[in-house]
Structure 1
Amino acid sequence: MKRQKRDRLERAQSRGFQAGLSGRSKEHCPYQSVDAKMRWLGGWRDAIDGRVTGLFNK
Structure 2
Amino acid sequence: MKRQKRDRLNRAQSRGYQAGVLGRSKDNCPYQSLDNRSSWLFGWREAMTERADGLFR
Give the TM interval when normalised to the shorter protein: 0.7 to 0.9
Correspondence for 1:38: 38
**Deviation sequence 1:34-55 (CA, Å, 0-9, x none):** 0000000000000000000112
Q: Which runs of 5+ in 2 are unaligned?
A: none
Select the structure of larger CA radius of gyration.
1
* More helix per residue: 2
Q: TM-score, normalised by structure 1?
A: 0.86
Say how many residue pairs are matched: 53
Identity %: 62
CA RMSD of aligned residues (A): 1.4
Following TM superposition, where does structure 1 have runs of at least 4 consecutive aligned residues deviating by more than 4 angstroms? none
